[in-house]
Structure 1
Amino acid sequence: MIFSLLATRRFAPLFWSQFFSAFNENLVRNMLAMIILFKVGAENAGPLVTLALAAFILPSLVLSGLGGQLADSNDKARVARWLKLAEVGVQGVAAAGYWYNSIVALYAALFLLGLIATLYTPIKYGILPDHLKREELTAGNALVEGAGFVAILLGLAAGGLTGLEGISRPMVVTELGVVAVLCLVSTWFIPAAPSSVPNLRIGRNLIGSTFALIGDLRRDRRMWVGGLGSSWFWLSGSVSLVLVPVVVKQRIGAGVEVETAISLFFAVGVGIGSLLAGWLSRGRIVLSHAAWSVAAMGVFLLDAGWSTGTAGAAHGTLSLPDFLRSASGLRLVFDLMGLACAGGLFSVPVFSAVQSWAAPERRARVVAGVGVLNAVFMIIGATATAALQAPWIAVPNPVLLVLLGAANLAAAVYFHRNLPDPAAAAADYDPTAAAVRPGE
């Protein structure tokens, strides 16, 4: 079922649209980082690079409510086409920023890409239950999540290559244009998904409507706990990807190629976990293993923190082959891939359940609400981590991994007690909304 979906028009165009979108967002973000680090030579490179992430996330805290309302009140496929058409113009801003080494233009492009992503997210997840049968929903989410992480990795790698000598400006500008066109073309083939509430009024208070989405989630305990589950995955994953590369550099002495491989291992692990979740579902939405997956995340984090914490400071730089031949390197790779795989096993069925529980006329706004919660959790995780790393506290990074592992064990207990029974995932699901259209 998982791979047969890629041959259907009701899923394949959306799959490739979100894949190229995720690739593009991370390409531009890392392109900006490379210009800051190597071409502009800014003294405050660290804060400027962090600001790039903030520029991308900020629109989700303001415009998620608008995104959910637009998706619920219009044909989702049509809105997606207009957004990707606008992205072609934004790509022109990014190309100009790269050509002229303008970090202002690249910040503007990244902010606009974050805005488009905010409006697009309720569409790409809200439209899945419209085009997929219920027994296909977990498999569809598995493909979207797994491929999304691979696209992020490839985008970051492509953005990093723009800082290398020998990479010409016309080549990079052409790449930006090709990716934008691929996003647009793939989106154009998404089948129509008419609105269930075409008379829905768009709220004028953008910030109020965005945070009202969280209030709406809280009114349905199932969706609130499911939204917390999705957000916990993003918090754990984002903090881990901040801590692990630093720990590897400090305790093992990893070189640039090892740092790149760390992201690869994580992306592959999430992909494996996501596909495994789709395979285990066998046409159902299975939540029975969700809490155990969070517990496994905690165990892998505890082991990663313990193994690096007991190692001394690194001396010299370790190449990738030497890293993979060392016992400490293999142990860390095992922990990281185990963490990512368990995360995929947890996040895919939980988010699939939220999609299936949401009423068709509110589904996009529910997805947008979960997106707001994800952003809030990632900001909380990043802020707390930065505070604990500050010089006046200076908690060692391996200890932070242990603390995150312990927090995951506590979260596993919470989700074990509060996630609904797997059979409840079928409640309130509208089978007519997921009917397969003739000829698709």
Structure 2
Amino acid sequence: MNTSAAAATSAGAPEAEPHANQFTLLGQRRFAPFFWTQFSGAANDNLFKFAFTVMVTYQLQLSWMPPAMAGLAIGALFILPFLLFSATSGQLTDKLDKTKVIRFVKNLEIVVMLLAAWGFVRADAVVLLGCVFLMGLHSTLFGPVKFALLPQVLDSRELTGGNGMVEMGTFVAILLGQVAGGLLVAIPGIGHTTVAVACVMLALVGRGVAQAIPKAPATDPGLVINWNPVSETWRNLKLANQNVVVFRSLLGISWMWFFGSVFLSQFPSFAKEVLHGDEHVASFLLVVFSVGIGAGSLLCETLSRRQVEIGLVPLGAIGMSVFAIDLYFASRALPAAAEMGLGTFLNTFAHWRVLADLGLLSLFAGLYSVPMYALIQLRSQPTHRARIIAANNILNALFMIASAIIAGALLKSGFTVPQIFLFTGIANAVVAGYIFMLVPEYYLRFVSWMLSHFIYRFKVRGEQHIPDEGAAVLVCNHVSLVDAMLLMAASPRPIRFIMDHQIFKVPVLGWLFKLAKAIPIAPQKEDPAAYDNAFEQAAQVLREGDLLAIFPEGALTRDGEIGPFKGGVVKIVERAREEGITVPVIPMALSNLWGSFFSRIEKRGGKPIAMAKPFRRGFFSSVGLHVGPAVPAAEVQPDALQQRVRALLAA
């Protein structure tokens, strides 16, 4: 169990129970009441907003809010409170019991929905716009609690699954809420009253479920609240920027909300003006989009081996761009037609390509977002986690407001909705590429994930022995050119490697290892300066509390057998001990790699030639990594470590 989860347990939260998959969390009190509380809130938000949007688009004739701008205006007004009040909300969440904050927020929701009910019955757009802002305030207060609570009650290896469930639940709730809002508001004669009753009932249900959420103690009860939103917003952004990977991940998530907001806000107009469909077609587009997000979110745990796998993020970004761009080509050539219902729409083959693009781009958006959320939760300090998430909400608000402004400007300048989708898809490729250049860890994890899924069939045993936090030295047998990439795929944490300086000369792989900041080491007789510098860099890695990996054989095996372990690992551990750092050593064994695609090295003309017989065993070879229990620093000896690795291979 990770530190935050353990702290929650000791403070009275239910102990984490092992589970086979993410769905079993729905049977546990530490997760289920919270899940259904956020589910009902998201459903209510979207039932209310979409019913209002459809009402303005199809039923009311408002000269000051034309249909094409209705979705953008309502969306921008909803997210404005995130910009204004997120900083205060993050402080309150760190300072107070999160359960009390949740119950207060649900009480506020009941009051707002009673006011909205009056606005629907009177068809008063001004009152409903005011309620849009208040529901944005409701979501602003709930946002930091929503994501700060999960790492407090879930183990680190449950975070991806838990976030996937929350993300899936949120978008299923969006789906049900928006479909219900679109259908209910269209009921002749009683549509507005029906929506009013539904909003109030959902608010009451959410408050009832919130009562069952266990206590979640404050993480920083002594925090002094700064009520100035401007200075606190700036302070939160500076706090988030202290961890470069976390801050760049915040930017990545905010971009995802920019991307998604463009599509969600344009669905009513896209359905009516481009696809020539009625309200039911607009609702069905949301069904496809939400199902795609939910499916992608749930896939994350399976594809990540139940760890925080940010290698899925570049994969998600690629899919988002590919299918957003194809959506433009799929929709631009649709002929003019009379307004059609859902049945007629589905009977047209050309529309199925549009639906496939929407479903797939949203599926990849789920793969993109869930690992980023989990990474932020895992690497943020527990005492500051809610404020980091508040900074995320601030950035989200800025990006979503920017999306509304840019999309509105493009519409006014004559862009069609499909052209806006094309612009967004191309921009996504540019922005994602820029973020991955700034944080190469995403790209490296993507390469290691692809290697462990599509070149090899990679199975890991004993991964629980890799520590969730703190310094440790990983030692492993050296079988192939990609051993480091496979170890990287097995660990949820970044690893710094000490590697033979010769491997940096291998095309492509050498560049990857430099990108990973691997530490080159040369024999002391050959290059004393490089030798000493390697041990100094290794010591610095351990001082910073990170993982360091070394291949003690010093070179790739020539015959598949484990060679003698050299004394470098002992020198590393002893130096750390002299500096007062206790460093456990984790033995690891890579199996079945010998003779596979990257394992063979032969010399030709005095130069090493990798993969001289690359198809000896072919692609998709089954390989494994067996991780053993930690060896105390006092017991670290080369021969003993070698025997432990041999035993792991034989197990």
What is the DSSP-based 3-state SS (H/G/I as helix, E as strand, rest coil) of the residue aligned with 2:22?
coil
C-alpha distance 296-195 of structure 1, shift in aligned 2 (>3 A)? same
Q: Does 1:13 align with 2:36?
A: no
**Residue in 2 aligned with 1:432?**
none
Once residues 385 and 89 of structure 1 are traced to their aligned partners in structure 2, the CA distance between those partners, rounded to angstroms, is: 33
CA contact (8 A) 1:277 1:345 kept: yes
Alignment of 1:339-350 (within 5 A): 339-350=361-372
Structure number with greater CO (CA < 8 Å, separation at least 6) is 1
Alignment of 1:34-433 (within 5 A): 34=54, 36=56, 41-46=61-66, 47=69, 50-160=72-182, 161-167=184-190, 171-243=194-266, 246-309=269-332, 311=333, 313-390=335-412, 393-417=413-437, 418-420=439-441, 422=445, 425-426=492-493
Once residues 315 and 37 of structure 1 are traced to their aligned partners in structure 2, the CA distance between those partners, rounded to angstroms, is: 19
Once residues 199 and 152 of structure 2 are traced to their aligned partners in structure 1, the CA distance between those partners, rounded to angstroms, is: 31
5+ unaligned residues in a row in structure 1: which ranges?
A: 430-440
CA contact (8 A) 1:76 1:193 kept: yes
Superposed CA deviations along residues 121-140 of structure 1, whole A, max 9, x for unmatched, are 10011000001111111111
C-alpha distance 217-12 of structure 1, shift in aligned 2 (>3 A)? same
C-alpha distance 411-55 of structure 1, shift in aligned 2 (>3 A)? closer
CA contact (8 A) 2:253 2:372 kept: yes
Once residues 244 and 29 of structure 1 are traced to their aligned partners in structure 2, the CA distance between those partners, rounded to angstroms, is: 13
Cα shift at 1:18 = 0.6
Once residues 359 and 320 of structure 2 are traced to their aligned partners in structure 1, the CA distance between those partners, rounded to angstroms, is: 10
Name the TM-score, length of structure 1 as normaliser. Answer: 0.90
Superposed CA deviations along residues 285-339 of structure 1, whole A, max 9, x for unmatched, are 1111211210111111111112323x15423234433433433211111111110
Greater mean alpha carbon deviation, residues 275-284 or residues 166-175:
166-175
C-alpha distance 378-171 of structure 1, shift in aligned 2 (>3 A)? closer
Once residues 201 and 269 of structure 2 are traced to their aligned partners in structure 1, the CA distance between those partners, rounded to angstroms, is: 34
Cα shift at 1:170 = 6.1
Once residues 279 and 394 of structure 1 are traced to their aligned partners in structure 2, the CA distance between those partners, rounded to angstroms, is: 44
What is the DSSP-based 3-state SS (H/G/I as helix, E as strand, rest coil) of the residue aligned with 1:283?
coil
Cα shift at 1:173 = 4.3
Superposed CA deviations along residues 64-121 of structure 1, whole A, max 9, x for unmatched, are 0001000001111111112212222222212222233333332332222211210111
CA contact (8 A) 2:72 2:265 kept: no
Once residues 31 and 259 of structure 1 are traced to their aligned partners in structure 2, the CA distance between those partners, rounded to angstroms, is: 12
Once residues 239 and 101 of structure 1 are traced to their aligned partners in structure 2, the CA distance between those partners, rounded to angstroms, is: 27
Q: Does 1:26 align with 2:46?
A: yes
CA contact (8 A) 1:298 1:408 kept: yes
The structure with the largest alpha-carbon Rg is 2
CA contact (8 A) 2:117 2:193 kept: no
Once residues 347 and 318 of structure 2 are traced to their aligned partners in structure 1, the CA distance between those partners, rounded to angstroms, is: 29
Greater mean alpha carbon deviation, residues 35-44 or residues 352-361:
35-44
Cα shift at 1:28 = 2.2
C-alpha distance 87-312 of structure 1, shift in aligned 2 (>3 A)? closer
One-letter amino acid of the structure 1 residue matched with residue 64 of structure 2:
N
Name the TM-score, length of structure 2 as normaliser. Answer: 0.62
Cα shift at 1:2 = 1.3
Cα shift at 1:349 = 0.8
**Residue in 2 aligned with 1:435?**
none
CA contact (8 A) 1:2 1:140 kept: yes
Once residues 440 and 345 of structure 2 are traced to their aligned partners in structure 1, the CA distance between those partners, rounded to angstroms, is: 40
C-alpha distance 328-287 of structure 1, shift in aligned 2 (>3 A)? same
CA contact (8 A) 1:2 1:279 kept: no
Cα shift at 1:355 = 0.8
Cα shift at 1:36 = 4.2
Cα shift at 1:281 = 2.3
CA contact (8 A) 1:223 1:357 kept: yes
Cα shift at 1:425 = 4.9
Once residues 161 and 78 of structure 2 are traced to their aligned partners in structure 1, the CA distance between those partners, rounded to angstroms, is: 28
Structure number with higher helix proportion:
1
CA contact (8 A) 1:356 1:426 kept: no
CA contact (8 A) 2:272 2:278 kept: yes
Cα shift at 1:23 = 1.1
Cα shift at 1:166 = 4.3
Once residues 174 and 401 of structure 1 are traced to their aligned partners in structure 2, the CA distance between those partners, rounded to angstroms, is: 36
Identity %: 34
C-alpha distance 204-246 of structure 1, shift in aligned 2 (>3 A)? closer
Structure number with higher strand proportion:
2
CA contact (8 A) 2:178 2:286 kept: no
Once residues 36 and 208 of structure 1 are traced to their aligned partners in structure 2, the CA distance between those partners, rounded to angstroms, is: 37
